[in-house]
Amino acid sequence: MLQLIANGIVVGSIIALVAIGLSMTFKILNFVNFSHGDFVTFGAYLAFLFNVTAGLDLPLAILASVVITATVSVGLDKVVWRPMRDKGAGRVTLMIISIGLALALRNTIVFFWSGDTRNYDLPIRQGYEVLGITITQTQIIVVVTSVVLMIAIHYLLQRTKMGKAMRALSDNMSLARISGIDVDKVIIYTWIVGMSLASVGGILFGMITTIRPNMGWHLILPTFAAVILGGVGNPYGAMLGGMVIGLSQEISTHFFPSEYKLAVGFFIMILILLLRPRGIFGGTKT
């Protein structure tokens, strides 16, 4: 059981990281971005390209992946999302476009890398035995990286001018625009932050599993559960929701076959929403 809890913390930290970005883009841009999961995959494959194909050290490969993923997301905002916002497109229209974008991105990945699984060029790292729990250095790196990035997001939202502008925009876009906030600039930074977190989340997930074209799809389902559980649009709720979903999924394998762990995560979400319909911390009504 202790081993499963440790595994749950590792997986939960990745889900939480991806959920923060999804929650931020939903709250500010006001639509459910189904392509978020495929940007998780995109970031993981870019890191593979730089790490294995180009031979860069993994930290440099991660940096390059994050920069390119963020740049692509900003480009898509200028080409796709901003024109649709200017035309007054509704949530359903934007959601359908995001599904189409997700499918296009996934098939592009399959075209260039095929459907085979891939692995990063990681050195063989020893595991540590603590209280009967085996913890690998890779798992420690994953958790530490996730925690550091979560602290950075907290600092961004609470201590910086851009973070305060993001919070103002998430509360009321029209009022923020009247107040003199550069809405388009804030939206660009939201894409940069959200998709950078998605890229890092995909890379970390690939480090503890394998890289495959549908990895983002398998990760986006528990990510949605984490966002809803914590409170839609609440980044802190997304952090807690990610940990709850990750832990519940891994612990459930002690009682049920592993094929059921995704269903267990959603069952926990439904159970909590029956008590708190807007999530643990409260959030936007969907």
Residue 12 has pLDDT above 90, yes or no: yes
Nearest Cα neighbor of 198 from 36, 29, 8 is 36
d(CA 197, CA 56): 21
User: Can you tell me which residue has the tokens 């503890």?
Assistant: 208
pLDDT band at 125, cuts 50/70/90?
low
User: Strands, E, within 34-153: which ranges?
Assistant: 127-130, 133-136
CB 245 within 8 Å of CB 268: yes
pLDDT band at 206 (very low <50, low <70, confident <90, very high): very high
What mean pLDDT comes out for the span 7-11? 91
Say which range, 8-12, 42-46, 88-92, 115-119, has the weakest mean pLDDT.
88-92
- Among 18-27, 121-130, 247-256, the range scoring the smallest mean pLDDT is 121-130
The average confidence (pLDDT) of the chain is 89
Sign of the dihedral through C-alpha 88, 90, 95, 100: negative
Taking residues 77-85, what's their average pLDDT?
Answer: 93
The amino acid occupying position 100 is: G
CA dihedral angle for residue 50, residue 100, residue 97, residue 236, rounded to 10 degrees: -50
- Provide the pLDDT confidence category of residue 275 given band limits of 50, 70 and 90: confident
Say how far apart CA 98 and CA 76 lie, in whole Å: 11
Burial of 14 per CB tally in 10 Å (0-12, 13-18, 19+): buried
Domain at 2-118+130-275: CATH architecture? Orthogonal Bundle (1.10)
How much is the average pLDDT of 127-131?
A: 77
Between 127 and 110, the higher pLDDT residue: 110
